[in-house]
Amino acid sequence: MFVVRDCVHIKAPIERCFLLSTNQELARRTLGLRVARRRPSRCSGLIMEGERFARRNWWLGLPHTHESVVSRCEPPSYLQDTMVRGRFRRLQHEHQFIEIEGHVLLTATVRFSLPMGRAGRWIGRRLTVPRVSAMLRSRLELLRKVAETDEWKRYLEECK
């Protein structure tokens, strides 16, 4: 089992940070996510508990499809998605939001394992962990940038 964890301090309200982390358009910008099923929510474009989303791309010359479901959602402090279909043996992604003196500490954790035994562990260590780390860092930095500037209004204007 591999664990990749990263965090970022954000100078914005916790509710804004949480809603931005569930925004489909913002997720698509960094991760290429496509929502597979929609349920009505108070703000359109937000991924909520029970919803499935898919990520499709190419990696190592192979097509890659990864489908997850939002398995736990406790606004505005916790969000978890769990893989239901994909190339990983297991994958779970968590966002934890902690408010500290007007700032938010956002911690993202990805836990995963790969099939193929020893070869899977080698691929995980050498290729997958660095890629997941880079994607996580990119996503957290984008969330910070959007939340701390007026750009958040583009994504959450209707949620006020």
Tens digit of each residue's pLDDT (9 = 90 or more) over 31-51: 655 555 444 444 557 888 898
Mean pLDDT, rounded, of the chain: 88
| Whole-number pLDDT of residue 41 | 45
67: CATH? 3.30.530.20
| Unique residue bearing structure tokens 């836990």 | 111
Q: How far apart are CA 65 and CA 85, in angstroms?
A: 8
DSSP code for 142: H
| Interatomic CA distance for residues 73 and 55, integer angstroms | 20
Cα–Cα dist 39/48, whole Å: 8
Which DSSP state fits 39? -
User: If DSSP codes are grouped into helix, strand and coil, which group holds residue 13?
Assistant: coil
Predicted TM-score of the model (pTM): 0.87
Domain containing 58 equals 2-159
Measured CA to CA, the distance from residue 71 to residue 95 in angstroms comes to 12
Name the domain count of the chain: 1
